[in-house]
Chain A
Amino acid sequence: MRTTTLPRRSLRPGRNIALPVVLTALLASCGAPGAQSPLSDTPTDVSTSIGDEPVTLDVLVSTPDVPLYEALGEAFQGEHSNVTVQVTGEDFNSLTTNVPRLISGTEVPDLVRLASFGNLVEDKLLTNLDPYAEAYGWTAWPQSQFASTRVGDDGRQRGTGHLYGAGPGFGLTGVYYNKSLAEQIGMSEPPATLGDLEESMGKAKDAGLLPMMVNGKDGGLAYPLQNLQMNAADGTQVVQDWNYNTPGADIDTPALVDAATTLQGWSDEGYLPDDVNSIDQTQAPARFAEGEGVFFPSGNWQAPVLQEAGGGEIGFFLFPPDDAGEPFTAMTAAGVLAIPTKSDQPDAAAAFLDFIQTDDGARQSTLDLLGLPPGGPEDASLPDSEPGSLVAGTVESFQMLLESDGLVDFMSNSTASMHANTLIPQTQLLVAGKTSPAEFSAAIQKDYEEAEK
């Protein structure tokens, strides 16, 4: 019976608890935790030259992006023989989780893929790229591409202030559709209005097809929701201000309640899968490519894979506006790379950032390997995509969006916890009918304000 009885003494709580409590009390009286004197985040002397000394650039990105960055790294090494680009991949979620500790430690990567800024700017962990933007002439490029990576002096408000990140290309959301299933329900071209889309979903339901595949387990419901919100609000300003943490921003408006009502209606009508809340972003595209679902709202990062899996059967269109001819809107975000303050190669890292945005070969790789249309200077050449292919479709859509000025950041990126702690559970509650559209809208704003405190 060796294992059955704990030592009797451990059963006497008084003596046991006393010691830790005393120690704890002693410790608790020590000074406050955390850094007391923040670093400086603005480099004083920047250079566009890498020099001739051997340099190793450590680039940390999320795992699916590794092939792209390896290709970009190789191309960069071709130009600068003294540079070695070392790419490390980490699962996106653990990357998001670990970045603050990784870049405040001692072994710091020179470039790191960011999902959100959180407190990184406030804690001075990221290099202010303004001097590099000046040196490389990024200031002369269309500035809207940098809006989401500018952070104000308060460390919170985005869209204004200093530049803290840049990237090779842009994510973009829209709706994929299965061409042969669309034909079955008499849909010969992508829906031009929201009404057309809903009508087609109704027909699909009547024909015994699943109208819309969507990954509710990890946030896919937020895409149609945000598009519906922008449609109902007749514009993007409210959500953009909200995303950028503009003081006083409030999204708890009739537009969001309307959007939530519509999305909940789709669920009630049976337009979404029964198991929507247990489908993740790996299963959703796989099931959609196998023919489950007429529509699939998602992003251009799925295009290279769906193009291969769908065998030309899959098309892409921008989420339709309420009335034909109104401007299109979509969620988009740059694949952001930032240079940690503690990097000892900021010049080389900035040179790499400039290279991936301007070099023709690099821009082509960005599109081929990740499906992301590159940003960069206004007169830069557009990379080629196979005419008529799915990737070409997403690139065309991106051009259409640029023309209608409909690029908006993701609601998920508004605060560090908005995606996991608020949008995912709240959209799940919404489509399951466990919360009302008004409650939903209020909950989103409440969590946002709490995170902003």
Chain B
Amino acid sequence: MTRDAGTRPPGHLVRRPTVGTPDPGPPPGPHPARRRRRPARRWSALLWVAPAMIMYGVFVLYPLGQSVQFSFYEWDGIGPATPAGLDNWRAIFTEPELLGSVLHAFVLIFFYTVLPVSLGLVAASLIRELRIGAFNTTARVVLFVPQVLPPVAAGIAWTWMFSTDGLVNQTLSAVGLESLTRAWLGDFTFALPAVGVIGFWLSFGFCTVLLLSGVGKIDPSLYEAARLDGAGRVAEFFAVTLPGLRGEIAVCATIGTIAALASFDVVQIATQGGPGYQTMVPGVEIYRLTFLEQQVGQASALAVFLAALVLLVIWPIQRLGRHE
């Protein structure tokens, strides 16, 4: 069933304004008035913002600026640095190992974002049908548990589960799929998807719970209206649930995508980038460049590039999540 303007419940068009959304825009009014009031407001506002600005400047902007600065040097982190021009930046695009790590991070977006959001939507729709009660609560708790585990702990646990005689292979053998068993994290084809599964496991619960809370805030009358219009479950999902969860989906997608592109802990614990360079991601590469190779300049260039890349990827997601 596709979305059809005719069957869309009228309530959708007159959605209540979202509660609690900060409204940063200036109050509507003629420009001259704004201009007149502005100076005084700006100075007093600055006083309030100053402590936060100073903290932000010292702990975010300054290190960021330093990273950019380092990226133009060849430096081991201790001794004197020598200017390197654009060499470090050029290497990102010419070294197959560095560029490959960026591509792996994009593969992980599928596991950290696409899968958890799609399956989270399904799970949230199903749990919505459950009556509030013990089972509903249990479902939420079970789904959310991975979220309270540090990714490092999850990485260690999954390393055991993916091992040759681990839970994954035991389960496969038990159901007669012995031919599929392998050392997942040591397998050239399956190592990256296996790492992705750990990431999926970590973000699935968060997405489901966030989407569930979003579902709870959709006006029930919309569902009633959809039912009255003769919509089935699927039609209801596409006409009511999905549009109503636009904001939540954007948050899940944003957080998941950042986690995928900036992934470090899970990969470092589970595979250290191996086998070969099969699961190397920028986070691990930056760590290695800095601490093992003592190439702080090259690491900084990759880190700044990664930050810019994250912003670039997140931006359209944010636009999609915006309410008209």
Contacts and interface: CB of A to CB of B under 8 A. Distances in A.
A274 interface: yes
A96 B250 CA distance: 41
A44 interface: no
B186 interface: yes
Interface stretch (A2-10, A129-137, A327-335, A350-358): A2-10
A214 B276 CA distance: 16
Nearest to A118: B294
B83 interface: yes
A411 to B, nearest CB: 16
B288 interface: yes
B81 A97 contact: no
A222 to B, nearest CB: 14
Contact of A27 (B62, B73, B247, B294): B62
A196 interface: no
A306 B134 CA distance: 52
Contact of B18 (A5, A9, A38, A451): A5
B322 A32 contact: no
Nearest to B19: A1
Interface stretch (A159-167, A393-401, A418-426): A418-426
B210 A3 contact: yes
Contacts of A3: 210, 247-248, 251
Interface in A415-453: 416-417, 420-421, 424-426, 428-429, 432, 434-435, 451
B275 interface: yes
A97 B163 CA distance: 27
B80 A35 contact: yes
B29 interface: no
B68 A32 contact: no
Nearest to B314: A6
A105 to B, nearest CB: 10
A101 B78 CA distance: 8
A5 B25 CA distance: 14
Interface string A23-41: 1101110101111101000
Interface residues of A, number: 59
A35 B79 contact: yes
B24 A9 contact: yes
Interface stretch (A77-85, A230-238, A275-283): A275-283
Contact of B61 (A23, A277, A416): A23
Interface string A384-403: 00000000000000000000
Contacts of B322: 5, 8, 11
Interface string B118-158: 00000000000000000000000000000000000000000
Interface string B62-79: 101110111011011111
A420 B217 CA distance: 50
B7 interface: no
Contacts of A28: 65, 68-69, 72
A428 B275 contact: yes
Q: Which of A13, A36, A428 has the most CB of B within 10 A?
A: A428
Interface in A166-211: none
Interface in A12-28: 13, 19-20, 23-24, 26-28
B164 interface: yes
A341 to B, nearest CB: 12
A434 B294 contact: no
B241 interface: no
Given A4-B251, A4-B321, A30 B69 contact: yes
Contacts of A4: 18, 21, 214, 246-248, 250-251, 321
A26 B321 CA distance: 35
B192 to A, nearest CB: 14
A123 B275 contact: no
A432 B80 CA distance: 42
Given A32-B81, A217-B186, A425-B275, A119 B76 contact: yes
Interface string A104-135: 10000000000000110011010000000000
Given A30-B69, A416-B292, A421-B292, A1 B21 contact: yes
B323 interface: yes
Contact of A425 (B61, B65, B273): B273
Interface in B305-324: 311, 315, 318-319, 321-323
Given A4-B214, A20-B64, A27-B69, A429 B251 contact: no
A2 B21 contact: yes
Residue from A4, A33, A104 whose CB has the most chain B CB atoms within 10 Å: A4
A277 B291 CA distance: 24
A218 to B, nearest CB: 8
Nearest to A431: B275
A251 to B, nearest CB: 19
B69 A417 contact: no
A32 B73 contact: yes
Contact of A100 (B182, B247, B294): B294
B114 interface: no
A216 interface: yes
A129 B249 CA distance: 62
B188 A425 contact: no
Given A5-B21, A416-B293, A32 B275 contact: no
A296 to B, nearest CB: 17
A98 B291 CA distance: 7
A272 to B, nearest CB: 11
Interface in A25-64: 26-28, 30, 32-36, 38
Interface in B268-324: 272-277, 288, 291-294, 296, 311, 315, 318-319, 321-323
Contact of B73 (A6, A33, A118): A33
Name, among A23, A275, A424, the residue most crowded by chain B CB atoms within 10 Å (CB to CB): A275
B78 A7 contact: no
B51 interface: no
> 5 closest Cβ contacts across the A-B interface?
A4-B247, A278-B186, A275-B183, A27-B65, A277-B186
14 contacts: A3-B210, A11-B318, A11-B319, A13-B311, A33-B66, A35-B79, A100-B294, A104-B78, A275-B186, A277-B187, A277-B274, A416-B293, A420-B292, A435-B276
Given A9-B25, A125-B78, A274-B183, 13 more contacts: A2-B21, A3-B251, A4-B246, A23-B57, A32-B81, A33-B73, A34-B76, A35-B78, A119-B76, A277-B183, A277-B187, A278-B187, A432-B275
